[in-house]
Amino acid sequence: MKMDGKEIDLSKTKTTTKAEKREYEIIKDSDQRKGVLSTESYMCPKCDCTEVYFYLEQTRSSDEPETRMLTCKDCGHGWREY
């Protein structure tokens, strides 16, 4: 590395900053994720409700289409469409 036209050897330099300790918590929120509310587009196979939350998820390889994940607003039944 050159600084002000002079070459500086950085191979033996040490840092004075310390890494902060961080705590991580893994949260499984897939059961709480509902997506977009749709009315009249889908029907729950369990209770025949037409208000259904849905979202798209890539569950297979990238050259395959996305999987539509659906959850009934009334009974909470979940299913998927490929």
Take residue 61 and report the two structure tokens written for it.
């390889």
Q: According to the 3-state scheme, what is the secondary structure of 22-43?
A: CCCCCCCCCCCCCCEEEECCCC
Tell me, yes or no, whether 10 lies in a domain.
Answer: no
DSSP state letter for 40: S
Give the number of domains in the chain.
1
- For position 47, what pLDDT does the model report? 92
Take residue 80 and report the two structure tokens written for it.
């998927």
**Is 31's pLDDT higher than 80?**
no
**Is 37's pLDDT higher than 70?**
yes
Give the domain range for residue 65: 29-82
Tell me, yes or no, whether 6 lies in a domain.
Answer: no
Tell me, yes or no, whether 34 lies in a domain.
Answer: yes
Residue 45 sits in a domain whose CATH number is 2.20.25.10
The 10s digit of each residue's pLDDT in 55-80 is 888 888 888 888 888 899 888 898 88
Tell me, yes or no, whether 11 lies in a domain.
Answer: no
